[in-house]
A = this chain, B = another copy of it.
């Protein structure tokens, strides 16, 4: 029971941090409160929704209203404490990283439970953790950040590989989950702290989208 509560708290903190990132980007684009709420919600639940549609199970947020409520609290926080929240940037980064760790582990376990092999589960972990941010960026009409900045989706893959390694070594489930989540959190912190990026694919100067295909 204690453990259940602990995981719930992380789940809510992660949802809150994801929703805040969506709401703040929406506010920078002059969205109204309702639009900001939708963008925040989609950021928080989008990845898990795509995962659940691909796995053909009922989307997780349709089974309990807590994700809608947490997003509402996130919106209220931005409305009331907007300027103050910005100073908490580092706190949110940590919430976001911890939430990411949890979301990826949940995504992996849900996929394995549905009978899919590990390579699908690792992909689903990545989708759970990063697709919400991609949809967020599509909604605010920007090129998705994760395709160009820091290591985000790759951190999810690393966490998936750590999970696989621990699993193959027959670690206990709790240890496996913890190590996978920690590897994601540490990767995120190192990537942002030391500006570690994936190399950019060099485009040709004479190449522009309308010329191809």
**A128-183 residues at the B interface, CB under 8 angstroms:** 133-134, 137-149, 151, 153-154
Chain B residues closer than 8 Å to A36, beta-carbon distance: 147, 201
A147 to B33 alpha-carbon distance, docked (Å): 8
A48 to B155 alpha-carbon distance, docked (Å): 27
CB distance from A137 to the nearest CB of B (A): 8
**A182-213 residues at the B interface, CB under 8 angstroms:** 197-204, 207-210, 212-213
Total copies of this chain within the assembly: 3
CB distance from A42 to the nearest CB of B (A): 10
The SS class assigned to the A binding surface is: helix
The 18 sampled A-B contact pairs (Cβ below 8 Å) are: A30-B200, A31-B148, A32-B147, A32-B198, A33-B198, A34-B153, A34-B154, A35-B144, A35-B147, A35-B198, A35-B201, A39-B147, A54-B59, A62-B120, A65-B119, A140-B143, A141-B143, A145-B210
